[in-house]
Amino acid sequence: MGDSVGDLLVLVIDLHPVWWADHSLTGVVQSSLVLSNAHLLQNPLNKLCVYGYMNTGVYKLYPTEEDLVAGESTAGKYEGFDVVNTTILMRLKDIMLECRDPEEHKQLDGSLLSGALIQALCHCNVMSKNLAIGNILNSRILVLKGSPDSRSQYMAIMNSIFAAQKNKVAIDSCVLGEDSTFLQQASEITGGTYMRVQDHGKLAQYMLGVFLMGVEFRKSFNTPPASKVDFRAACQCHSKMTDLGFVCSVCMSVYCGFRPICMTCNAHFKLPTALLKGKKVTGKRKLENGKS
């Protein structure tokens, strides 16, 4: 086993301007800074990275190339905190000033959660590759999410969840708005914790109480129970959740009833054998049962 190299915490914060128009961003940012500082305080080797995302882009708030140098030249740890806090706040201010165009921010959808997750995973990957041989960096991602899911990102988000699972990166989710099926699946599959916080005033307490400790310690504590995850598929034809569906053998599209041509890949299906020869099918099924 290698030496301890600390933990990496990647904070991913939803900055969708339309959603925050009805909520107080300041409190949430302050709670995030408390969590960031507490994380860095636990172990001098702990690392931090903060991303912000909205409907127009993904922004890295910390570390940026310039303040890496500044952080190294300051000797005291408290000054280190100061570097983190001021960098994040400065970057946030810049971003908020950039997005004042009301034309771009009309609707409450299209938050680029997929892009933020992918960049966060790239960061975790590069950080773990730069270690000396034998050292393992424990990484986890905490997503603070307000705006609703956008369905078009389903594939990108699922693929990043699987990449996180393979790289042993846990995805924690702290949802401030409506429940998110994307993040419920992400936390369930990667072994993170999913939590919905309705009282934003108590966010700092929740964050310190649940998300500050590493995933391996959570077994010894009473963390929020696993939420009921809906693993059912939505059908292509009506976008309804279905528990009994027909899956195209070519492109894996799900339909809630039989249809002759696939909507996605234009495959022509033959009629189900049950319609053609009812009795023979039952005989075959019995045979298969007998074998298995």
Nearest to 98 by CA among 52, 50, 65: 52
Stretch in the footprint of other proteins (CB under 8 A) among 13-21, 85-93, 140-148, 237-245: 237-245
Q: Is residue 15 near other proteins by the rule CB under 8 A?
A: no
How many CB atoms neighbour CB 109 within 10 A?
A: 15
Choose which of 123, 140, 145, 218 interacts with other proteins (CB under 8 A).
Answer: 123
Burial bucket for residue 133 (CB in 10 Å: 0-12, 13-18, 19+): exposed
Residue nearer to other proteins on the CB measure, 204 or 256:
256
Stretch in the footprint of other proteins (CB under 8 A) among 7-15, 114-122, 140-148, 201-209: 114-122
Residue nearer to other proteins on the CB measure, 205 or 282:
282
Q: Is residue 71 near other proteins by the rule CB under 8 A?
A: no
Contact 5, 135 (CB under 8 A): yes
Burial bucket for residue 132 (CB in 10 Å: 0-12, 13-18, 19+): exposed
Residues sharing a CB contact under 8 Å with residue 142, sequence separation 6 or more, in sequence order: 9, 10, 11, 12, 35, 172, 173, 174, 211
Give residue for tokens 């900055």.
15
- Tell the smallest beta-carbon distance from residue 200 to other proteins (Å): 27
- Tell the smallest beta-carbon distance from residue 156 to other proteins (Å): 5
Helix (H) or strand (E) holding 219: none
Residue nearer to other proteins on the CB measure, 204 or 262:
262
Given CA atoms 113, 115, 118, 120 in this order, what sign does their dihedral have?
Answer: negative
Site for other proteins in 255-284 (CB under 8 A): 255, 258-259, 262, 265, 267-270, 272
Choose which of 34, 90, 208, 233 interacts with other proteins (CB under 8 A).
Answer: 233
Stretch in the footprint of other proteins (CB under 8 A) among 72-80, 95-103, 108-116, 206-214: 108-116
Q: What residue type is 250 in one-letter code?
A: V
Stretch in the footprint of other proteins (CB under 8 A) among 7-15, 29-37, 137-145, 152-160: 152-160
Q: Is residue 57 near other proteins by the rule CB under 8 A?
A: yes
- Tell the smallest beta-carbon distance from residue 228 to other proteins (Å): 7
Q: Is residue 50 near other proteins by the rule CB under 8 A?
A: no
Q: DSSP of 2-17, one letter per residue? A: -----EEEEEEEE--H
Site for other proteins in 78-97 (CB under 8 A): none
